[in-house]
């Protein structure tokens, strides 16, 4: 069984949503946001991430300049 790299993953997590229990548990994080039609926080720069707009539309908008 593979151990979760939660502590290691946290080094790459820019999510500012404090109450979330999925922080550092990337497999749960991506499943959750995929279900919502979104992407996880780490796909967005900090200034966009903190708006909590994790939509695919936002991702395309900020990457199509
Ligand atoms: S990106 Fe979403 S699921 Fe992942 S840690 Fe942040 S709030 Fe939780």
Q: Which residues span the domain enclosing 51? A: 38-65
**pTM, 2 dp:** 0.89
Euclidean distance between CA atoms 53 and 51, whole angstroms: 5
In this prediction, residue 18 carries a pLDDT of 94
Among the residues of 11-54, which ranges form H helices?
26-35, 46-49
In this prediction, residue 2 carries a pLDDT of 81
In DSSP terms, which residues pair with 61 in a beta bridge? none
Q: Using a 6 Å CB cutoff, which residues line ligand 1?
A: 15, 17, 20, 22-23, 29, 32-33, 40-41
Number of domains composing the chain: 1
In this prediction, residue 21 carries a pLDDT of 95
Give distance in angstroms: CA of 59 to centre of ligand 1: 15
List per-residue pLDDT tens for the chain, 65 residues long: 788 999 999 999 999 999 999 999 999 999 999 999 999 999 999 999 999 999 999 999 999 97
Residue 48 inside a domain? The answer is yes
Residue 65 inside a domain? The answer is yes
Residue 31 inside a domain? The answer is no
Nearest Cα residue to atom 5 of ligand 1: 23
């Amino acid at each position: 069984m593979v151990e979760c790299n939660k502590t290691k993953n946290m080094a790459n997590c820019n999510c500012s949503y404090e109450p979330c229990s999925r922080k550092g548990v990337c497999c749960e994080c991506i499943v959750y946001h995929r279900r919502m039609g979104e992407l996880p926080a780490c796909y967005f720069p900090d200034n966009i991430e903190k708006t909590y707009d994790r939509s695919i539309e936002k991702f395309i908008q900020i990457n199509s300049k």
